[in-house]
Amino acid sequence: MTDQSTPYVPVPTRRPRRLRSSPAMRELVSETVLRPADLILPMFIADGIDAPREISSMPGVHQHTLDSLKRAAHEALEAGVRCVDLFGVPRDEDKDAEGTPSCNPDGVLNHALAAMREEFGDDLLIMADTCLDEFTDHGHCGVVRQDRWGRAVVDNDATLELYQQMSVAQADAGAHIISPSGMMDGQILAIREALDAAGHEDVSIMAYSAKYASAFYGPFREAVGSSLEGDRRTYQQDPANVRESLLEAELDVEEGADFIMVKPAMPYLDVLRAVAEASPVPVAAYQVSGEYAMLQAAARNGWLDLEAVMMESLTSIKRAGANQILTYFATDAARVLNNRR
Ligand code: PBG
């Protein structure tokens, strides 16, 4: 005979749900806190346009005129963002094999850097993208030459000399942070030496240390009107690898990087975690154009809740180890954070 009245008595076990029981409890135990000041806004300044131009594969992101650039930067600052990263978009007819407008004080990027420093002083940090691909007619990040087998190769050391001139021109214009994104070997040391020799010891360097040859940069190529044919696989990293990210990061720190970066972010959170665990300097992550585009596209189809996935993706990037996050969502995400308080 069975005793029907015996109640079910659960074995006393750990009950993780106790710590999820209310908003107050969840906030009490939250391990990852995103702040507006963690976010860096990448922005595009274009030559020869008289009104801002929306980038079709990046809804809400524009090629700016100087006026609209300043306005958008003021909005970011008001939301609590403390740093913007400027990319220049020269006119096609000004591009050449060596990316000459990158070093010209009147070139579109240097001119905008000066105007932004003038406008914001030290309230908003002005970071400059230090790379030739926006300025070269072939779209590569460095000087292209033929090797002895007739192959076109990007010449590492000839490129370093141009990066030195470009970074000094950017620092002269008023950039607080130089961010070399070209993945040439030795670029951090070369740039540090050039900056110091020019009296720019106080200008810092954010090194794109672990930058992968990624298809997630697709929309960026539209954003800067890139002329690239082919790919960057002889200088950017293979998505299959993680060890070389640790080596790249270590070399960059030895060469004098003040920050290092992992890019892209979401598909490379394991790399970010590994680099963050080993790094003695702050580690940034770049949520790139394709990551932005894919969340926007799904949201536009009604398939994802944009605000929710934006905040979840940024929280996840921070949880994986990022101290700073470059993201086209910076102003929007900062506003969401402000409204939560
Ligand atoms: C190169 C550069 C790229 C990006 C930033 N700097 C493109 C590339 O390496 O091909 C991509 C950024 C993005 O996709 O948001 N100067």
Give me the torsion for CA of 285, 289, 295, 301, rounded to 10°: 180
Quote the domain boundaries for residue 279.
32-339
Q: Report the separation in Å between the CA atom of 192 and the middle of ligand 1, taken as the mean of its atom positions.
A: 22
Ligand 1 neighbourhood includes 223 CB (under 6 angstroms): no
Select from 217, 194, 216, 220 the least CA-distant residue to 205.
194
* pTM greater than the 0.85 cutoff: yes
Residue 340 binned pLDDT confidence (cut-offs 50, 70, 90):
confident
For 74, residues 6+ apart whose C-beta sits below 8 A from its C-beta are none
324/82 Cα distance (integer angstroms) = 11
For 106, residues 6+ apart whose C-beta sits below 8 A from its C-beta are none
Residue 5 binned pLDDT confidence (cut-offs 50, 70, 90):
confident
**What's the total number of domains in the chain?**
1
Ligand 1 neighbourhood includes 287 CB (under 6 angstroms): no
- Residue at 8 is within a domain: no
- Residue at 19 is within a domain: no
The predicted structure's pLDDT at residue 3 = 61
* Residue closest by Cα to atom 2 of ligand 1: 181
Please, what is the Cα angle at 140 between 138 and 141, to 5 degrees? 145
Residue 82 binned pLDDT confidence (cut-offs 50, 70, 90):
very high
Helix (H, G, I), strand (E, B) or coil at 72: helix
CATH number where 321 lies:
3.20.20.70
Ligand 1 neighbourhood includes 217 CB (under 6 angstroms): yes
- Residue at 45 is within a domain: yes
Give yes or no for a cis peptide into 264 (omega within 30° of 0): yes
Burial of 158 (0-12, 13-18, 19+ CB in 10 A): middle
Residue 14 binned pLDDT confidence (cut-offs 50, 70, 90):
confident
Q: Report the separation in Å between the CA atom of 79 and the middle of ligand 1, taken as the mean of its atom positions.
A: 25
Percent of the chain with pLDDT over 90: 91
Q: Which active-site residues does the annotation give?
A: 211, 263
Residue 212 binned pLDDT confidence (cut-offs 50, 70, 90):
very high
- Residue at 212 is within a domain: yes
Residue 36 binned pLDDT confidence (cut-offs 50, 70, 90):
very high
Residue 1 binned pLDDT confidence (cut-offs 50, 70, 90):
low
Q: What is the pLDDT of residues 228-273, one digit of tens each?
A: 888 999 999 999 999 999 999 999 999 999 999 999 999 999 999 9
- Residue at 278 is within a domain: yes
The predicted structure's pLDDT at residue 10 = 74
The predicted structure's pLDDT at residue 297 = 98
Of 175-179, 218-222, 248-252, least confident by mean pLDDT is 218-222
Q: Report the separation in Å between the CA atom of 6 and the middle of ligand 1, taken as the mean of its atom positions.
A: 67
Radius of gyration (C-alpha) of the chain in whole angstroms: 23
Q: What is the 3-state secondary structure (H, E, C) of 190-239?
A: HHHHHHHHCCCCCCEEEEEEEEECCHHHHHHHHHCCCCCCCCCCCCCECC
Q: What is the average per-residue pLDDT within 273-287?
A: 98
Q: What is the pLDDT of residues 138-152, one digit of tens each?
A: 999 999 999 999 998
282/280 Cα distance (integer angstroms) = 7
- Residue at 185 is within a domain: yes
Residue entry with tokens 């001139």: 165
- By the 8 A CB rule, do 205 and 188 touch? yes
The predicted structure's pLDDT at residue 13 = 79
Q: What is the average per-residue pLDDT within 155-162?
A: 95
Q: What is the average per-residue pLDDT within 44-61?
A: 97
Ligand 1 neighbourhood includes 324 CB (under 6 angstroms): no
27 is in an annotated binding site: no
Residue 92 binned pLDDT confidence (cut-offs 50, 70, 90):
very high
Helix (H, G, I), strand (E, B) or coil at 179: strand
141/172 Cα distance (integer angstroms) = 22
- Residue at 100 is within a domain: yes
β-partners of residue 63 are 44, 53
Instruction: Examine the pLDDT at 205 and tell me if it is beyond 60.
Output: yes
Determine which helix (DSSP H) or strand (DSSP E) holds 18, and give its type and residue range: none
Q: What is the pLDDT of residues 178-190, one digit of tens each?
A: 999 999 999 999 9
- Residue at 23 is within a domain: no
Q: What is the average per-residue pLDDT within 300-308?
A: 98
